[in-house]
Amino acid sequence: MISLQVFYEGNVQGVGFRWSVRHIAKGFDVTGWVRNLLDGRVEVQVNGEEDEVRAFLDGIAQSDLRALIRKRIENKLENPVATRGFEIRHE
């Protein structure tokens, strides 16, 4: 199992980015969440087997969202994200 925190920068808010990420997640055996940040970035936290998590992130990178992403920063998390399924957070 692996848990990652990923920040996306670019034109990633107000364009359906979170909804698209959640839709992509449905095709993979991952759990986690996606949310907008006040600084204009989008944060994703995701758990799963490493190959599933990598395939999910590749799915984002190869989707139509790729045109909106200028930069991606990835961090490993020590503790798994506590969530069922994959959700959009509004906090």
Q: Note the pLDDT of residue 82.
A: 79
Q: Note the pLDDT of residue 90.
A: 86
Q: With respect to residue 14, please indicate whether it lies within any of the assigned structural domains.
A: yes
Confidence category of residue 84, pLDDT binned at 50, 70, 90: confident
Higher pLDDT, 87 or 83: 87
Catalytic residue among 11, 18, 41, 72: 18
CATH number, residue 24:
3.30.70.100
Q: What pTM does this model have?
A: 0.93
Q: With respect to residue 89, please indicate whether it lies within any of the assigned structural domains.
A: no
Beta-strand pair 69-76/86-88? unpaired
DSSP assignment of 18-47 equals: HHHHHHHHTTSS-EEEEEE-TTS-EEEEEE
Per-residue model confidence as pLDDT tens digits over 33-62: 999 999 999 999 999 999 999 999 999 999
Q: With respect to residue 66, please indicate whether it lies within any of the assigned structural domains.
A: yes
For the chain, the domain total comes to: 1
Q: With respect to residue 86, please indicate whether it lies within any of the assigned structural domains.
A: no
Q: With respect to residue 88, please indicate whether it lies within any of the assigned structural domains.
A: no
Q: With respect to residue 17, please indicate whether it lies within any of the assigned structural domains.
A: yes
Is residue 70 flagged as an active site residue? no
The Cα–Cα gap between 8 and 10 comes to 7
Dihedral angle of Cα 39, 40, 45, 49, to the nearest 10 degrees: -140
Is residue 11 flagged as an active site residue? no
Residue 70, Cβ neighbours under 10 Å: how many? 9
Catalytic residue among 11, 22, 36, 72: 36
| Residue numbers of the domain that contains 16 | 2-80
